[in-house]
Structure 1
Amino acid sequence: MPANNLRRIHSLDGLKLVMVLCIVWWHCMPRVVFGYSLPDLGARCCEVFFLVSGFLEGYRHGLNYKFTFEELWLKAKSKLKRIYPEHAFFLVLSILVGVTSGKEWAVLSDSNVISAICNALLIQAWIPSFAMQFNGLSWFLSSLFFCYLLTPLVAYIALKAKRPVGVWHLLVATMACRVLLEAECAKHPDIYSMVNIHENPLVRLLEYSFAYYLALVYRGRLGADTCSKKVSFLWSVVECVAIGFALYCVVEFNGAWPRWMYTLVFSGVVVIVAGERGILSSLLGCKPMRYLSVYQMQIYISHAVFYSLGWALFPTSSVMAHVSLFVLIVIYCFAVNCLKRIRQNKPKPTVTESFYF
């Protein structure tokens, strides 16, 4: 089915927004609430991010690629045009904030200069010691950009597979590679010292590819509709069970499960929420969520640097540091929106396009 005939899945945009807000809480708010230690929201939300990104790419584009170097260049250029200006801005701002705050990575040294160059080139996720330096959140852009670069290859492999059975085989093979890689890293940490399961682009590519192939199955079997379905009571129950089970696993098995098991659980949630036939997916895809999800990129990429800046401005007041974080994010989102409207000469922002790649 042509991509322009497919309905837009607003519920997944809303799901990504919720994940962004959870990550902001994890990085900037107390991790103990009413005496209860929160599970690792940062790791779990990042797993959902890569699954949603791969699923949406597979859903929107399917196998509709020309598989040429020109197409690859245009795709890379398009993605960089969206993400690099903000990445570069917060890289510079993080250096300035780091200098004023006395961060170790802000000291002029050979290692820090190399780290800054790797960050500027968006390759820092390949090197564990550099991945979290400067704006530590940009490792996500590094890994995701790598996934986007290899998306045509992922689609080409699916094209050569014998459909539809071949796609199912690819799902199994991709997850098997993901399981094996994590098991080997745990068994031989000395050999795989350069492979960090959280940031490594190859690990994330396997998750991304798994979701991409899952979207191909979805397009062929479940997603052939061109408009949203009406809310179904039965589907609402299915959504509640799936999301409830995922939350239970996150809370109950926090740190006990290998990370690939969360990937499997979350992939089921992504597929179910993408159907937009239940009450929870309808809430995730409602107009307020659609409007706010436009700014998910800005909220994500800015919050760590703005949080450090807030503490630099108010080193003795936790309240003022958090208030300044909120104010700076709002101002930044407003400024980006104004620039976009000026550039595109639009009278008002749209809720159908996201700045999030």
Structure 2
Amino acid sequence: MDQRPALPALTGLRFVAAVQVVLFHTRSAAPGLQRASFLDPFGGGYSGVSLFFVLSGFILAYNYLTPDGNGVRSVRSFLVARVARIYAVYALGVAIGIPVLIAEASRHGGVMANARFLLAVIAANLTLVQAWIPAYACRLNCPGWSLSVEAFFYLLFPLLGWWLCRRRTAALLVIAAACLALAYGAALLYLRVDPDKLGTVTAASYATWLSVMKFNPAIRLPEFALGIALGMLYLRAPQALGHRAAIVSLVAFGVACVGLAAHERLPYLLVHNGLLAPVYCVLIFALAAGQGPLARLLSTRPLKQLGEASFALYLLHVPLIGYCARLFALGGITQNDASWPWALMYLVACQVTALAVLHWIEEPSRVAIKRWLSPSPRTD
């Protein structure tokens, strides 16, 4: 299959999705920011993960599938490319999260008393299976749970993508609707049954079944499958929106912003698990056409660069909270006493770190891992 044209606006969109999540955690880490009402929309920034899942399915379909029903040519090459893409930065996130995890254990019974648990959490994270274990999913480096979910998606993609790319357009639309029904239905069933007896569920809630609903890869699969179906629809009709793509992208972006602003009036679990996925689908489809002011803005060189670094930004920003808090405190800037200066310095530190990791770790390691895992040419 020939290399398809790049979709630069979607690279810029990755940065927007990452910033959603980063600002959500920044707002939580700096208590003074919670009194700033204009930051309220970022209280729903966790929805950015849903955007990542849909976008991931779309991009993989665009790069690996064909409109006439051909799937992944080499499963090995596909999986090697995925490991090379994610694992070095992911492992870095685990590494810098381990001291934070150990420090937490030392405050709750001591490291030796928690040694078995610590080793189990680290092993689960290194093997990308933590999202299957509710107690481990958000330990060590919380954003890593979504990479555990993505790893499951990658394993399924060669077969799932092959099956979806052979479906007719009408069937893809039905499948997309079914994916949304499954995502919404699972969340609504949890809220109706309330197996954890929480009553009201918020972003601060924690319970075993709630963790299953939020983090379990099988529960989040409909969002990824929706993205694959969307990618196939785009491959078959990339100019379906025509000149309307520009206005459609702006409207979809506006609706997404309104949805985030209204997150406190909506069921938390629904927002977390894909309530805005249809809006994200429209936004992705329209931006892929590359038309209009929003697409041009997201395609600019600075935003493309930030989009490339968004993976590191997303994966490293949570463990960096603890390190930045200790560093900034040396200069008398704390999370509680000076939230705005603290938050601004933290965000700059995160972005600088992400760009440095992109250029000095992520890109070189991607090449090295591909070379290491790819079969060597025969010499006989």
Shorter-chain TM-score category?
A: 0.7 to 0.9
Q: Residue 293 of structure 2 aligns to which amino acid in structure 1?
A: I
Partner of 1:75: 78
**Is 2:13 aligned against 1:9?**
no
Q: Deviations over 1:13-70 (max 9, x none)?
A: 1011112122222212455363456133332111111111111111222243357xxx
**Is 2:44 aligned against 1:38?**
no
Partner of 1:27: 25
> Which has the bigger relative contact order, CA under 8 A and spacing at least 6?
2
Moved more, 330-339 or 131-140: 330-339
> Does structure 1 retain, via aligned residues, the 8 Å contact 2:312–2:357?
no
Change in 2 beyond 3 A, CA 1:321/1:284? closer
Change in 2 beyond 3 A, CA 1:194/1:112? farther
Partner of 1:354: none
Cα shift at 1:147: 1.0
CA distance in 1, matches of 2:110, 2:129: 19
CA distance in 2, matches of 1:212, 1:300: 22
> Does structure 2 retain, via aligned residues, the 8 Å contact 1:98–1:106?
no
CA distance in 2, matches of 1:87, 1:129: 20
Moved more, 36-45 or 302-311: 36-45
Moved more, 72-81 or 51-60: 72-81
Q: Residue 322 of structure 2 aligns to which amino acid in structure 1?
A: S
Query: 298, 313, 324: which is aligned to 1:299?
Result: 313
CA distance in 2, matches of 1:149, 1:178: 20
> Does structure 2 retain, via aligned residues, the 8 Å contact 1:174–1:210?
yes
Q: Deviations over 1:295-334 (max 9, x none)?
A: 1112111111112111133445234685366336524632
CA distance in 1, matches of 2:128, 2:323: 23
Cα shift at 1:284: 0.7
Partner of 2:111: 107
CA distance in 2, matches of 1:59, 1:320: 40
Change in 2 beyond 3 A, CA 1:224/1:262? closer
Partner of 1:348: none
**Is 2:98 aligned against 1:95?**
yes
Change in 2 beyond 3 A, CA 1:266/1:91? same
> Does structure 1 retain, via aligned residues, the 8 Å contact 2:100–2:322?
yes
CA distance in 2, matches of 1:105, 1:28: 28
Partner of 1:157: 163
Gaps of 5+ in 1: 346-357
Matches within 5 A, 1:334-353: 334=356, 336-339=358-361
CA distance in 1, matches of 2:228, 2:8: 18
Partner of 1:197: 213
CA distance in 2, matches of 1:27, 1:288: 24
CA distance in 2, matches of 1:224, 1:11: 17
CA distance in 2, matches of 1:262, 1:177: 14
Cα shift at 1:105: 10
Partner of 1:183: 188
> Does structure 2 retain, via aligned residues, the 8 Å contact 1:126–1:200?
yes
> Does structure 1 retain, via aligned residues, the 8 Å contact 2:94–2:141?
yes
Q: Residue 179 of structure 1 aligns to which amino acid in structure 2?
A: Y
CA distance in 1, matches of 2:363, 2:35: 40
Instruction: Give percent identity, aligned residues only.
Output: 21
- RMSD between aligned residues: 3.1
Gaps of 5+ in 2: 197-207, 335-340, 368-380
Query: 279, 284, 308: which is aligned to 2:322?
Result: 308
TM-score normalised to the size of structure 2? Answer: 0.77
Cα shift at 1:138: 0.6
TM-score normalised to the size of structure 1? Answer: 0.81
Cα shift at 1:201: 1.1
Cα shift at 1:167: 1.9
> Does structure 2 retain, via aligned residues, the 8 Å contact 1:311–1:321?
no
CA distance in 1, matches of 2:102, 2:85: 28
Change in 2 beyond 3 A, CA 1:279/1:116? same
Q: Residue 6 of structure 2 aligns to which amino acid in structure 1?
A: R
CA distance in 1, matches of 2:52, 2:96: 25
Partner of 1:352: none
Cα shift at 1:206: 1.0
**Is 2:256 aligned against 1:240?**
no
> Does structure 2 retain, via aligned residues, the 8 Å contact 1:126–1:199?
yes
